[in-house]
């Protein structure tokens, strides 16, 4: 993972100069901000922004916009409500508008800056709708399927021993503060984190969808990013893992879905924002097992990243003033060169996916390596669609990649591993239908037609993945 740029911006990742733009949403947010600053009604403009974002498949951004819509009457209404809600609403609206213009879909999903605004918006809403809660994964994993995750059987003695070790190491971590304290205190915290990592390693089983394998990858990512000590989300992760250990000791076979989603989103966060390097390959492999992709990135210097960002802003400004450089796909305006590159690479990926899906209906020829190749083809397509701004295409492709991954793991050929794996393989018919739906969608994109959202293929894939098989 690349450290955060020192550029004077309030966001996390670099902007995407070749990414698609949802111009109607950008214009609507500009109108909403002007109305807000003039103490006028902004709700109608925010509703237009939300509708446009949904049409583009930018569903995390739409979720954020919907929170703005719900809070806007409070920020503009009774002065007793507005005095508290107005500063929160205004700051969120300004930063959201700026983030949207960076055209980076992964940042819109995983930015801690945006999530902090989202949490503040929802906190004000909860005063009027008690009982509502919000979590980082709600924004980061919007509309993404998450498979069931196991707690594989272990002896009671072994689990009791590991939990005792875990609880001893947990207390110093929960007490830790980020970048504060003496060298001796930091040494104690690091030793405790080392012990927690060791316990995760001993707990992790052979099942690719074993929770402790996921937790181990998440803990490693937190250590690499320097967020393991002192950060609220990290402390919550380690504390909830202790509760999961208690569940495990009671013989519960599946990890709580809410914990799985929280752990997965935390693992994905920094890789989604900054990309991954070669040394992150193990964590990226875990992310691929759960349907999430990242860009491979070689860290540059702070100066080079600032230069790249300045060039990106210039490229976006040129693109915005030269309509010949853009192609309209419904509400999405895409860079012509990026669009043509996408169509070329997508054609090869969809052909490979269709062939793999047809072969998957022949059990006697089942080959886990072929299924992994199909999953990789889907992920290449999903990443390319994400970079272009085709949110609906990216979601369907990533879900198909996850389905193929599960099929690969369900068909492992080593008996010693197969005895422990409980992965349900999605039906070949579901894979083929999704591949055909992707092909049809790409034909529309090639013809200059906006891809549809909410298709039945994604719903079928989601059911297959979340129910554990066909």
Phi first, then psi: what are they for 114, rounded to 5°? -65, -40
Residue 7 maps to a domain? no
Residue 140 maps to a domain? no
121 with 181, same domain? no
Residue range 110-134: average pLDDT? Answer: 86
Of 367 and 60, the one with more pLDDT: 60
pLDDT at 319: 46
119 with 167, same domain? no
Q: Which of 134, 165, 186 is the last residue of a domain?
A: 134
Residue range 353-369: average pLDDT? Answer: 71
pTM: 0.89
356 with 236, same domain? no
CATH number of the domain to which 404 belongs: 1.20.120
pLDDT at 180: 59
Whether 5 has a pLDDT exceeding 70, the answer reads no
pLDDT band at 322 (very low <50, low <70, confident <90, very high): very low
pLDDT band at 15 (very low <50, low <70, confident <90, very high): confident
pLDDT at 343: 93
Contacts for 60 with CB less than 8 Å, ≥ 6 apart: 105, 108, 109, 139, 140, 142
Domain of 161, in residue numbers:
156-289
pLDDT at 12: 66
Residue 283 maps to a domain? yes
Please give the Cα distance from 67 to 281 (Å, whole number). Answer: 36
The per-residue b/e assignment along 69-84, b for 16 or more CB within 10 angstroms, e otherwise, is bbbbbbbbeeeebbee
178 with 263, same domain? yes
Reported as a single tens digit per residue, the pLDDT across 252-299 is: 999 999 999 999 999 999 999 999 998 999 999 999 999 999 998 755
Reported as a single tens digit per residue, the pLDDT across 401-443 is: 999 999 999 875 444 444 455 667 788 888 989 999 999 999 9
Reported as a single tens digit per residue, the pLDDT across 365-385 is: 567 888 899 999 999 999 999
Q: Which of 289, 318, 347 is the last residue of a domain?
A: 289
Structure tokens at 149: 């995750």
Residue 16 maps to a domain? no
- Least confident stretch, 46-50, 315-319, 360-364, 386-390: 315-319
285 with 164, same domain? yes
Beta-strand pair 332-335/21-22: antiparallel
Residue 320 maps to a domain? no
pLDDT at 6: 31
Number of domains comprising the chain: 3
Residue range 94-102: average pLDDT? Answer: 95
Residue range 200-227: average pLDDT? Answer: 95
Average pLDDT, the chain: 86
Phi first, then psi: what are they for 254, rounded to 5°? -120, 135
80 with 113, same domain? yes
pLDDT at 220: 96
pLDDT at 66: 97
> Is 374 in contact with 435 (CB distance < 8 Å)?
no
Q: Which of 14, 5, 16 is nearest to 315 (CA)?
A: 16
The most confident of 180-184, 300-304, 423-427, by mean pLDDT:
423-427
pLDDT at 451: 86
Query: Is residue 270 packed enough to be buried (19+ CB in 10 Å), middle (13-18) or exposed (0-12)?
Result: buried
Residue 364 maps to a domain? yes
103 with 216, same domain? no
86 with 176, same domain? no
Residue 188 maps to a domain? yes
> Is 113 in contact with 142 (CB distance < 8 Å)?
no
Whether 310 has a pLDDT exceeding 60, the answer reads no
431 with 350, same domain? yes
Please give the Cα distance from 55 to 209 (Å, whole number). Answer: 33
129 with 189, same domain? no
348 with 391, same domain? yes
- Least confident stretch, 34-43, 57-66, 176-185, 299-308: 299-308
pLDDT at 406: 93
217 with 126, same domain? no
> Is 349 in contact with 396 (CB distance < 8 Å)?
no
pLDDT band at 342 (very low <50, low <70, confident <90, very high): very high
Please give the Cα distance from 29 to 200 (Å, whole number). Answer: 45
Residue 28 maps to a domain? yes
pLDDT at 133: 78
Phi first, then psi: what are they for 143, rounded to 5°? 70, 5
């Amino acid at each position: 993972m690349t450290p955060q740029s020192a550029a004077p911006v309030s966001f996390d990742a670099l902007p995407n100069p070749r990414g698609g733009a949802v111009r109607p949403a950008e214009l609507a947010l500009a109108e909403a901000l002007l109305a807000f600053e003039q103490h006028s009604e902004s709700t109608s403009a925010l509703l237009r922004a939300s509708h446009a974002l949904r049409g583009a498949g930018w569903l995390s951004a739409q979720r954020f916009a919907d929170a703005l819509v719900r809070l806007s009457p409070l920020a503009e209404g009774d002065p007793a409500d507005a005095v508290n809600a107005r500063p929160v609403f205004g700051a969120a609206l300004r930063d959201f508008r700026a983030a949207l213009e960076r055209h980076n879909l992964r940042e819109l999903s995983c930015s801690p800056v945006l999530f902090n605004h989202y949490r503040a918006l929802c906190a004000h809403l909860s005063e009027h709708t008690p009982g509502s809660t919000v979590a980082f994964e709600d924004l980061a994993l919007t509309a993404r399927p998450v498979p069931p995750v196991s707690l594989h059987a272990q002896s009671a003695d072994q689990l009791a021993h590991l939990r005792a070790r875990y609880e001893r190491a947990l207390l110093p971590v929960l007490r830790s503060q980020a970048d504060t304290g003496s060298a001796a205190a930091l040494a104690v915290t690091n030793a405790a984190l080392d012990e927690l990592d060791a316990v995760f390693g001993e707990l992790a089983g052979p099942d690719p969808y074993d929770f402790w394998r996921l937790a181990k990858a998440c803990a490693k990512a937190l250590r690499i990013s320097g967020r393991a000590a002192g950060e609220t989300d990290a402390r919550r992760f380690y504390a909830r893992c202790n509760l999961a250990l208690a569940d495990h000791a009671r013989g519960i076979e599946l990890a709580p879905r809410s914990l799985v989603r929280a752990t997965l989103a935390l693992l994905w966060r920094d890789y989604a924002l900054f990309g991954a390097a070669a040394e992150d390959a193990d964590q990226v492999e875990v992310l691929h097992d759960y349907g999430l992709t990242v860009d491979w990135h070689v860290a540059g210097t702070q100066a080079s990243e600032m230069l790249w960002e300045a060039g990106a802003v210039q490229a976006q400004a040129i693109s915005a003033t030269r309509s010949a450089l853009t192609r309209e796909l419904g509400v999405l305006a895409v860079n012509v060169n990026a669009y043509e590159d996408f169509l070329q690479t997508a054609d090869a990926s969809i052909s490979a996916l269709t062939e793999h899906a047809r072969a998957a209906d022949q059990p006697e020829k089942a080959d886990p390596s072929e299924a992994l190749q199909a999953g990789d083809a889907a992920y290449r397509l999903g990443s390319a669609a994400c970079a272009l701004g085709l949110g609906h295409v990216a979601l369907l492709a990533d879900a198909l990649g996850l389905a193929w991954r599960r099929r690969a793991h369900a068909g492992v050929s080593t008996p010693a591993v197969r005895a422990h794996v409980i992965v349900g393989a999605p039906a070949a018919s579901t894979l083929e239908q999704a591949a055909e739906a992707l092909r049809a969608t790409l034909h529309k994109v090639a013809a200059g037609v906006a891809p549809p959202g909410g298709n039945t293929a994604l719903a079928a894939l989601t059911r297959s993945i979340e129910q554990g098989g066909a």
